[in-house]
Amino acid sequence: MTTQPVLIAGSGPAGSLLALYLSQQEIPVILFEKQPDLPVDLRASTFHPPSLEMLDELGVADAMIAKGLKVDRYQYRDRRTKEVAEFDMGLLSDDTRFPFRLQLEQYEMTRIINQQLANYPTAQVLFSHEVLGFSQDDNGVTVLVNTPDNEKQFRGSFLLGCDGASSQVRKAAGIGYGGFTYNEKFLVVSTPFPFEQVFDNLSYVNYISDPDEWCVLLRTEKLWRVLWPTDPAEANPAQTYLNDQYIQQRLQHLHAKAGDYDIGHKTLYAVHQRVAERYVQGRMVLVGDAAHINNPLGGMGMNGGLHDAHNLAQKLTCILKEGASYPELFAQYERQRKDLAVEFVQQHTIANKQMMETKDPEQQQKRQQWFMETAADPSKARAFMLERAMFNCLRDSLQQA
Ligand SMILES: Cc1cc2nc3c(=O)[nH]c(=O)nc-3n(C[C@H](O)[C@H](O)[C@H](O)COP(=O)(O)OP(=O)(O)OC[C@H]3O[C@@H](n4cnc5c(N)ncnc54)[C@H](O)[C@@H]3O)c2cc1C
């Protein structure tokens, strides 16, 4: 077995999962994180059942579940007709040990994993270490890292680019990130206001349509979070949409109440649909957002990255412990995760957005009708939830040789 460490750029969900999996296999790792500590930003908050199964293999699912919110039903609501299509995730009880979505901030997961990593002497986590570039030869990779002291070189067997959508590793490899960026931005606002007390039978994950606007209303373990699209024609989006008065109006439109809402945080962010041209270059492999990015409707971004990381960790274990050929297994990773999984995620997330944003009353009615009928039929509802929870794309991708 090689004693060279696997070098991992980025301690987000993908890099953290890889670091823990490999450490548990007694494979040495160095995890470089450019920030001085684990980033605490409000991003993904939904863990689908297959991701929970993978995290359970690593022994961290229980701690996550104890901290998070188990959501065993989700709803598509039409504010015009007041119809609610509710999907009961209990119908997946024979399919998974985790028939629910776990609502938990992604940084809580990376914190739990990083606490575990401290138990492995072969795992080094280096904060304030920014990967700048790399070179490779037949025996390994050399990575140039900006450290608090100076620029240093580190040597390892492989480099895993888990450094997010603006990946420096991907750029250093000269790999393009094709696709598009939507004209409109998404506004996300959190509030402690108890929406569950004012909306009848509200679940903790809701997709809400309206004649004029749509939104996603979901509860994390800490606060309610509302996501709205914004007008792409707005000349000064940040000034307009991050304005408290504007946010109060949007929240009052969602539910009119006396007095202002307390606002926890507000973010306006660009929404992309992009996929790296290649995931592999010799001994370098891209994982998670470094490889693909999509709109957050359906919660497939982080989950897809966790599935990449789990797939690659299994292959690295075969390569480093059993002497399997890395070019072959990395090529298979690219086929499984790029050609199949990403195709599914890109198509579904684009379709989810189109479906939510239609303003045509006839289309809106058809869409709600479809949700109502599907939710009411247990066999159709199960099939729908298996797809939305990413079971199908994972199964299909693993069947790809
Ligand atoms: C507002 C918002 C809501 C979202 N909601 C959801 C959701 O509900 N469900 C879902 O599945 N997804 C969601 N996503 C997407 C999700 O957050 C990402 O898919 C996920 O964070 C990707 O994980 P990652 O580990 O690939 O990258 P990241 O989480 O971006 O982590 C990359 C890490 O690398 C570090 N880094 C960057 N460059 C370097 C470098 N050169 N050297 C060393 N370290 C570096 C960064 O500091 C960071 O810690 C959302 C995203 C946003 C913005």
Give the chain's domains with CATH numbers: 6-71+102-178+277-356 (3.50.50.60)
DSSP string, 282-314: TTEEE-GGGTEE--STTS-HHHHHHHHHHHHHH
104 lines ligand 1 (CB under 6 A): no
Cα(370)–Cα(362) distance, rounded to whole angstroms?
Answer: 12
39 lines ligand 1 (CB under 6 A): yes
Spell out the per-residue pLDDT of the chain, length 401, in tens.
Answer: 558 999 999 999 999 999 999 999 999 999 999 999 998 888 899 999 999 999 999 999 999 999 999 999 999 999 888 999 999 999 999 999 999 999 999 999 999 999 999 999 999 999 999 999 999 999 999 999 999 999 999 999 999 999 999 999 999 999 999 999 998 899 999 999 999 999 999 999 999 988 778 899 999 988 999 999 999 999 999 999 999 999 999 999 999 999 999 999 999 999 999 999 999 999 999 999 999 999 888 788 999 999 999 999 999 999 999 999 999 999 999 999 998 777 788 888 888 788 788 888 888 888 899 999 999 999 999 999 999 999 988 888 888 77
Residues contacting 68, CB < 8 A, separation 6+: 47, 102, 103, 104, 108, 221
168 lines ligand 1 (CB under 6 A): yes
Give bridge partners of residue 136 from the DSSP assignment: 141
- The sign of the torsion formed by the CA atoms of 262, 265, 270, 276 equals negative
296 lines ligand 1 (CB under 6 A): yes
pLDDT for the residue 2: 53
Are residues 272 and 178 in contact, defined by beta-carbon separation less than 8 angstroms? no
The pTM (predicted TM-score) of the whole model is 0.95
Cα(5)–Cα(157) distance, rounded to whole angstroms?
Answer: 6
pLDDT for the residue 297: 84
Cα(269)–Cα(101) distance, rounded to whole angstroms?
Answer: 24
Instruction: State the distance from the centre of ligand 1 to the C-alpha of 257, rounded, in angstroms.
Output: 35
Instruction: State the distance from the centre of ligand 1 to the C-alpha of 72, rounded, in angstroms.
Output: 25
Cα(22)–Cα(285) distance, rounded to whole angstroms?
Answer: 15
16 lines ligand 1 (CB under 6 A): no
Are residues 289 and 164 in contact, defined by beta-carbon separation less than 8 angstroms? yes
Instruction: State the distance from the centre of ligand 1 to the C-alpha of 164, rounded, in angstroms.
Output: 5
Ligand 1, residues 8, 32, 34, 43: which to mutate, most atoms within 8 A of Cβ? 43
Beta strands 205-209; 215-219: pairing state: antiparallel
Instruction: State the distance from the centre of ligand 1 to the C-alpha of 345, rounded, in angstroms.
Output: 16
Are residues 122 and 29 in contact, defined by beta-carbon separation less than 8 angstroms? yes
Residue whose token pair is 């497939």: 300
pLDDT for the residue 85: 97
Instruction: State the distance from the centre of ligand 1 to the C-alpha of 380, rounded, in angstroms.
Output: 33
Please name the helix (run of DSSP H) or strand (run of DSSP E) that holds residue 30, with its range, or none: strand 29-32
CA angle 200, 203, 209 (to 5 degrees): 75
Q: Determine the atom of ligand 1 nearest the C-alpha atom of 227.
A: 1
pLDDT for the residue 349: 83
Distance from the first to the final alpha carbon of the chain? 25
289 lines ligand 1 (CB under 6 A): yes
Cα(21)–Cα(400) distance, rounded to whole angstroms?
Answer: 23
32 lines ligand 1 (CB under 6 A): yes
Structure tokens at 358: 């239609």
199 lines ligand 1 (CB under 6 A): no
